[in-house]
C-alpha cells in the first residue's frame, strides 16, 4: 500500500468528537465494538487522505467542504493544497451546517 498523498490534520473539535464517539460506543456496546468503530473511523480518514476529492462536496456549507460517511457518522473535512483538515465527526442525523 502506498503512503497517503495528503497530510492529515485533525482539529481539536474533531478530536473531541472522535473521543466522545468512542467513549459512547464503549459505554453502550463494549470494548470490542469501540475498537472496531475506532478502526473504521481511522480507515475512513486514511481513505480520505489517499483520495480526498472522491467524496461528496458540500458547497452549501462552503466551497471547500466535503463529507464522507463512516458508519453512523459523517466526517466533515476540507482540502487545502496537499493537506486534509478534518473539522468535525458528526452523527449522520445531525445538521452539518449547524455544527460547523
Q: pLDDT tens digit string along 16-25? A: 999 999 999 9
Average pLDDT over residues 20-48: 97
> Residue 3 pLDDT > 70, yes or no?
no
Confidence of residue 83 (pLDDT cuts 50, 70, 90): very high
Domains of the chain: 7-94 (3.30.2310.20)
Count how many residues are written for the chain: 100
Amino acid at each position: 500500500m502506498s503512503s497517503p498523498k495528503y497530510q492529515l490534520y485533525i482539529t481539536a473539535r474533531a478530536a473531541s468528537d472522535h473521543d466522545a464517539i468512542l467513549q459512547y460506543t464503549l459505554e453502550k456496546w463494549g470494548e470490542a465494538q469501540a475498537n472496531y468503530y475506532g478502526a473504521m473511523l481511522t480507515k475512513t480518514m486514511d481513505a480520505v487522505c489517499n483520495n480526498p476529492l472522491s467524496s461528496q462536496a458540500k458547497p452549501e456549507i462552503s466551497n471547500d467542504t466535503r463529507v464522507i460517511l463512516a458508519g453512523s457518522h459523517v466526517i466533515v473535512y476540507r482540502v487545502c493544497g496537499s493537506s486534509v483538515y478534518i473539522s468535525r465527526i458528526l452523527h449522520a442525523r445531525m445538521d452539518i451546517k449547524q455544527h460547523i
